[in-house]
Amino acid sequence: MTMMSRPEMGVDLARALQEAHRGDQAAWETLFKECYPKVRRVVRRKLNRSMRSLYDSTDFASDVMKSLAAQFDRLEFPSIDSLMAFLAHIAEQKVIDEYRRRHTLKRDITRERPMSAKGVDSGPVQLPSDDPTASEVVQAKELEEQLVSRADETGRTIIELKLQGYSPSAIAERTGWNIRKVQRVLKNLHDSMNDSGG
């Protein structure tokens, strides 16, 4: 097998471009084998360090070639150089678009930190908790005190059992009262808190 010279290769690629326009699969494979590595080089030059840790240049290059295949019947390239210029431009645009998408405030990759981030300005990662905050605990305690102060002896008993996690039916069973009485007392307490803005 002999190596083709540059002019012969250019003629061969120009012929492959024409044949690919006619639908020849072998010509497509020839174009792909020649263009794909060059598109990957363009992508590698455009990817900055933060983007390289997230993306592979082959993903962008494959996407460019897929775009070419989807639009090939609507495009005319007078030469193989114009095809390569078109592919390089598309590759650059895809990298730029992804860079912009990743650097919107919502997806800013400079704000990403590993879970075990340790550094001067990044303290330990704090995950949100389902536990109540200190202010929520204080508010709940104040509400409990208001309810107890407004209730009679029966109401206080029902409130204490409800705070311990008993259901209305369990409170009725435990105290010997009718379940409707327990529900009515709880409803009245609830309504009195809503009426007073509490």
Higher pLDDT: 3 or 54? It is: 54
Q: How confident is the model at residue 122, as a pLDDT?
A: 57
For tokens 């082959």, what's the residue?
Answer: 58
Tokens of 178: 């009718």
How many other C-beta atoms can be found within 10 angstroms of the C-beta atom of residue 48?
9
- pLDDT tens across 177-187, in order? 899 988 988 88
Whether the pTM exceeds 0.75: the reply is: no
* Per-residue model confidence as pLDDT tens digits over 32-63: 888 899 999 999 888 888 788 788 888 889 89
Q: Give the C-alpha separation, 167 to 148, whole Å.
A: 18
